[in-house]
Amino acid sequence: MILSVLRSRLKYKKLTIKYPAGSPPELSERFTGRALLSGGSCRGCDGKCISACPAGAISRKGDEIILDTGRCIFCRKCENICPEERIKFTGDFRTASSVREDLLLESPSEKSFEIKKSRISSLIIKSFSIRVVSAGGCGACEADTNVLSTIGWDLSRFGIHFTASPRHADALLLIGPVTDNMKSAVLDTYNAIPDPKCVIAVGSCAVSGGIYRDGEKNLNGAGDILPVDLYIPGCPPHPLTILDALLRFTGRMK
Amino acid sequence: MDNYITCGNGEAIDTENIPVVSEDIFRSFLESEIKNSRNHLSALFASGDWGSKKIFGVISDSSESVLKVSSFVPGEKYQTFTDISPRTHLFEREIFETHRILPSGHRWLKPVRFPDGGIGEMFFFSDKGDEIHEVGVGPVHAGVIEPGHFRFQCYGEIVRHLEISLGYQHRGIEKKLKDVSPDKRIHLIETASGDATAAHSIAYCRVVEGLSSCVVPSYSSAVRAAALELERIACHIGDIGALSGDVGFLPTSSLCGKLRGDVLNLTALICGNRFSRNLVLPGGVGFDINGEIRDRILESLERIRISAEDTIALLFNTPSVLSRFEGTGFVSMETAFDFGLTGPSARGSGIKRDVRCDFSDGIYRDRKVPVSVCSSGDVLGRALVRRLETEKSFRFVKELLESLPEKVSSSDIITSSPPLSKGRVSFSLTEGWRGEVVHIGMTDSEGNLADYKITDPSFSNWPALSYAMRGEGISDFPLCNKSFNLSYCGFDL
């Protein structure tokens, strides 16, 4: 029996990605990463992108537009509809930021999102334990967070773990817009985590409410009830986006 | 006049053509149809204005490949149908919660999703006896999973009863769908159950296409089927890996976790997203599969298939694994039928039913997928069905892509939603990886969406997990749970 297990195992080399020591895994050419707003003018357009955006992520400011990448679900409708080709989505997976306002793109902009080291980073040098709570998430953010524990990503090589008990956690990772029915459970979990602690919002729903924004049965993301330290937008964010954000947030990578 | 009207999968009919019968005739319609082992109650729902609300019953008849629809006007209450079939019990609770129509004689009229608050303060069935103890778990669970509350009634370590109380993920999708503009609806649907995005978006698009009499080009239909089967392969491999992990057999669990991600990456090759987002749109698809992408998928798929089949074979050849799978979480064929289980949970209990085969639609009409069945009814049965379905889906995607036309006409790539016709209703069934995804859309006399009803396979299958746990050790709960792997948000909507 054990021989067949070994025989099966010998067929494979190490399956964990090289990143961050090596280059990141290749993403699909159609992958939708960070958005850029190029120069030019929105004059003469009645705001096609604003009405096309299913998440209401684009607003007008004078002759300019503001694209809130924290609300964006990366469907590219605005990019396809803009007559001036002002909105471009790149293949850059780094869409996270520790400052909510940084996620608002005002044109023209090519700002890079900043992830400040966590204020508790001096305490989480060796290990960082995360308690994940889904509060209205659709299962996609959960899946792409969970996948970091598999051998392909092996999050634990960085000392980062998902923990069952909030008592063992350094951070609360929240998924979903926070439904009314989960609000008290989220607060209970947060309060059960000992200080000092931080909050990570994963997915557009947790960052801003996403497409559920202003819904009758939910809040507009983690920020409505908790102080958020790290925002990772996406619908869902790619595992690489989450990994990269966690590594920079914990000071494991610059 | 007939007691019911028949229509095909994805077909729209005039709402006024659905017979409105008396409560007694509706009851005998349900009773006689449900008895037939080839039939399944796909939906029981209420719709209409206050005072003239109707309850609609939709029976899917797999021997004839038709849906039979009937309705009655219940007033404020009607006599519960739970004595005819336990399948109706959750539907009736749902109708009571959203429409306040009372099913007289219903034995457990507890809220389903708590849309008006009160979650966490609910009552539970409690077993009697000095040595009975209660174990409560959730809504926040140990792993990276969605929330739900489980209340076990235990005698020692043996579970006598498990009550599952959900609703924590309730976002009010069905109502919100009516409030947003037509082009935005698909994005809400994509997150109805985010790990079954392809299934739900196909089901939704079939409803819209029925209501707008729009014909889907066969190329689009093929791309959709590729997405649906890739989703099935990814999730089944993930589930088999998770089952393997739950019995402590790490070789298969580790590799399956990796392979599942590799399959999701193939979906991302098509639409840039690992969960089929923005891929399926009303009228067609949002992305093509060009020659280069097709070749890359075919090449990777073969590599993944060899690894997956090898590591899954290792699992099924390990006696210590089989002894944990065998006989655990047993659901008999009769129980599966009574509760109206769908998908691998039903087929693992010997029910030969698969929408792809019985109500084939689009590309599945030409390319039949054989139904995989195992009659053992335990964790092993459900695992084995997943294994067989994975093998068949690998073959299906390979053959589909090999004969996929390279050129794509402009009508295939869709940018906006077609207008809906007035006063009609459309029903669609899609075989997602968890089972039958039912979507029903109704328009008013102006052509606006008047009502939308979603029945995720999880809605049908959650009660089966309770049943499977009876008489099992409480430590077998994770294994039983994983063998169904149901969606919380798909149930809660």
**pLDDT at residue B291 in the model:** 87
d(CA B38, CA B173) in angstroms, rounded, equals 31
Least confident of A38-52, B78-92, B441-455: A38-52
Helices of type H across A117-221: 140-146, 183-192, 204-208
CB contact under 8 A, B146 and A162: no
Q: Are B233 and B263 in contact (CB under 8 A)?
A: yes
Residue A199 C-alpha, separation from nearest chain B C-alpha, in angstroms: 16
**Surface of A (232-251) touching B: CB under 8 A:** 235-236, 238-239
**Surface of A (3-22) touching B: CB under 8 A:** 4-5, 8-9, 11-12, 15
From edge to edge, which strands make up the β-sheet containing A58-61?
A: A58-61, A64-68, A104-106
Percent of chain A beyond pLDDT 70? 98
Q: Which two tokens stand for residue A188?
A: 């209970």
CB contact under 8 A, A137 and B171: no
**pLDDT at residue B182 in the model:** 87
**pLDDT at residue B406 in the model:** 59
Concatenating the DSSP letter of every residue in B95-159 gives HHHHH--EEET-S----SS-TTS-TTS-------STTEEEEEE-SS-SSS----EEEEEEETTEE
d(CA A21, CA B156) in angstroms, rounded, equals 51
Does residue A118 register a pLDDT over 80?
Answer: no
User: Which residues touch B441 (CB under 8 Å, ≥6 apart)?
Assistant: B204, B207, B208, B210, B211, B425, B426, B449, B451, B452, B453
Element (H or E) spanning B482, and its range?
Answer: helix B477-484
Q: Which two tokens stand for residue A115?
A: 């992830």
User: Which residues touch A169 (CB under 8 Å, ≥6 apart)?
Assistant: A129, A130, A131, A163, A193, A197
Q: Are B231 and B202 in contact (CB under 8 A)?
A: no
**pLDDT at residue B483 in the model:** 95
**Chain B residue with minimum CA distance to A30:** B272
CB contact under 8 A, B143 and A54: no
Q: Are A205 and A212 in contact (CB under 8 A)?
A: yes
Look at residues A156, A120, A135 and name the one whose alpha carbon lies nearest to residue A206. A135
CB contact under 8 A, B317 and A216: no
Return the amino acid letter for B64.
Answer: E
Note the pTM of the prediction, 2 decimals.
0.94
CB contact under 8 A, B415 and A80: yes
- First-to-last CA distance in chain B? 36
Does residue B2 register a pLDDT over 70?
Answer: yes
Q: Are B326 and B378 in contact (CB under 8 A)?
A: yes
The per-residue pLDDT of chain B, averaged, comes to 92
**pLDDT at residue A112 in the model:** 64
**Chain A residue with minimum CA distance to B311:** A8
What is the per-residue pLDDT across A134-189, written as a single tens digit (0 to 9) for each? 999 899 999 999 999 999 999 999 999 999 999 999 999 999 999 999 999 999 99
Its ipTM equals 0.92
What is the per-residue pLDDT across B311-341, written as a single tens digit (0 to 9) for each? 999 999 999 999 999 999 999 999 999 999 9
Q: Which residues of B52-71 are buried (b: 16+ CB within 10 A; e: fewer)?
A: ebbbbbbbbbbeeebbbbbb
Q: Is A211 on the interface with B (CB under 8 A)?
A: yes
Contacts of A29 in chain B (CB under 8 A): 269, 272
Which residues on adjacent β-strands are paired with residue A202?
A: A175, A232
Contacts of B275 in chain A (CB under 8 A): 140, 143, 236
Residue B361 C-alpha, separation from nearest chain A C-alpha, in angstroms: 27
Contacts of B117 in chain A (CB under 8 A): 180-181
Question: What DSSP state is assigned to residue B49?
Answer: S
d(CA A62, CA A43) in angstroms, rounded, equals 9
**pLDDT at residue B465 in the model:** 94
User: Least CB-CB distance to B145: which of A80, A142, A181?
Assistant: A142
Residue A114 C-alpha, separation from nearest chain B C-alpha, in angstroms: 24
User: Least CB-CB distance to A185: which of B140, B144, B261?
Assistant: B140
User: Which residues touch B98 (CB under 8 Å, ≥6 apart)?
Assistant: B46, B115
- First-to-last CA distance in chain A? 46
What is the per-residue pLDDT across B54-80, written as a single tens digit (0 to 9) for each? 999 999 999 999 999 999 999 899 999
* Residue A251 region by backbone torsions, left for phi larger than 0, else alpha for psi between -120 and 50, else beta: left
CB contact under 8 A, B176 and A180: no
Residue A174, φ and ψ in degrees, nearest 5: -105, 135
Contacts of B234 in chain A (CB under 8 A): none
Q: Are A241 and A94 in contact (CB under 8 A)?
A: yes
d(CA B186, CA B276) in angstroms, rounded, equals 12
Q: Is A179 on the interface with B (CB under 8 A)?
A: yes
pLDDT band at A240 (very low <50, low <70, confident <90, very high): very high
CB pairs under 8 A between A and B: 178
Question: What DSSP state is assigned to residue A218?
Answer: B
CA distances from B146 to A91, A98, B477 (A): 30, 25, 16
Average pLDDT of span A23-44: 86
**pLDDT at residue B412 in the model:** 59
Does residue B9 register a pLDDT over 80?
Answer: yes
Q: Which 3 state secondary structure label does DSSP give B397?
A: helix
**pLDDT at residue B420 in the model:** 84
d(CA B324, CA A124) in angstroms, rounded, equals 39
Q: Is A56 on the interface with B (CB under 8 A)?
A: no
Q: Which 3 state secondary structure label does DSSP give A1?
A: coil
What is the per-residue pLDDT across A200-235, written as a single tens digit (0 to 9) for each? 999 999 999 999 999 999 999 999 999 999 999 999
CB contact under 8 A, B187 and A176: no
Residue B311, φ and ψ in degrees, nearest 5: -75, -30
Contacts of A34 in chain B (CB under 8 A): none
Q: Which two tokens stand for residue B372?
A: 């995989």
Does residue A40 register a pLDDT over 90?
Answer: no
User: Least CB-CB distance to B487: which of A139, A144, A217?
Assistant: A139
Percent of chain B beyond pLDDT 70? 97
User: Least CB-CB distance to A215: which of B176, B271, B272?
Assistant: B176
Q: Is A148 on the interface with B (CB under 8 A)?
A: no
Q: Is A162 on the interface with B (CB under 8 A)?
A: yes
